[in-house]
Homo-oligomer: A and B are copies of this chain.
Amino acid sequence: MAKATHDKIIEVAQELFNRNGFGGVTTSEIAQTVGIAEGNLWYHFKSKRALLEAINLEFIRCSEARMAINPGDGFVLDEFVDFQIELSKEVRKFRFMYRDQADYGQHTPELERELPRIYDRTIEQYRNFILKMRDDGIIGISPPDVEMLCHVLVLIFRYGLEFLRESHIKLPGDAGPITMSVRFQALVLSRFMPRQYVEEFEALLLKKLSSPELSK
């Protein structure tokens, strides 16, 4: 039962933190949900903060892997959509960490140090994709607009889930929140494309976003 309880605690805590925020979840609540005594919690993690650190580290490790994704030899729009889906999974899985940093306590010094770098590298990833699209003649865009566009797209991704959740807005179609984020970005990005690529892009999104795991 050694590893099992340890992992179960992390899993449950992450789930609860995602739902109610770090400060909005008590250790008693975590223990209860896991189905163990609260005292047992302190055997596995010496403090609530240590539990947070474990999750923070997993997040850093996970985003490190995602940040290695870059445009390759294939069709760039195809690769771009795959990248977005990867990013969307990360945002969903670590929702509470991607959440308001003003909720103090939510971020360890470790994460606090890493976050600007994660943002920078994510912007850079978008830049790589956008420049590739430009070089391949798929979009027409000026250098200063490239920078603005990267930032706008990251902003949409970062906050798309929160926006849909808190606004209770229902958009036409029965698309899930992640699908919606991708479509928001598509609206912006496709305005830089000639018509034939817009249609191709649309078709790609339609195909790749139909996976049931994305409509949750």
In the bound assembly, the distance between CA atoms of A116 and B165 in angstroms comes to 10
Is the C-beta of A103 less than 8 angstroms from some C-beta in chain B? yes
Copies in the complex: 2
Contacts of A155 in B (CB 8 A): 155-156, 159-160, 163, 184
The chain B residue with its CB closest to the CB of A163 is B155
Q: Which residue of chain B has the shortest Cβ distance to A122 in the bound complex?
A: B167
Interface pair A169/B191, CB less than 8 Å apart: no
* Cβ proximity bits A72-108 to B, threshold 8 Å, 1 near / 0 not: 0000000000000000000000001001111110000
Measured between beta carbons, the chain B residues less than 8 angstroms from A41 are none
- Asked whether, in the complex, the Cβ of B159 is within 8 Å of the Cβ of A172, the reply is no
Does A54 sit at the interface, judged by CB under 8 A? no
Provide a sorted-by-A list of 28 A–B residue pairs whose CB atoms are within 8 angstroms. Answer: A20-B102, A20-B104, A24-B102, A24-B104, A96-B102, A100-B103, A101-B165, A101-B166, A115-B167, A115-B168, A116-B168, A119-B167, A119-B169, A144-B172, A145-B187, A148-B171, A148-B184, A148-B187, A149-B187, A151-B184, A152-B156, A154-B167, A155-B155, A155-B156, A155-B163, A159-B159, A159-B163, A188-B188
A residues bordering B, Cβ < 8 Å? Answer: 19-21, 23-24, 96, 99-104, 115-116, 119-120, 123, 144-145, 147-149, 151-152, 154-156, 158-160, 162-163, 165-169, 171-172, 183-184, 187-188, 191-192
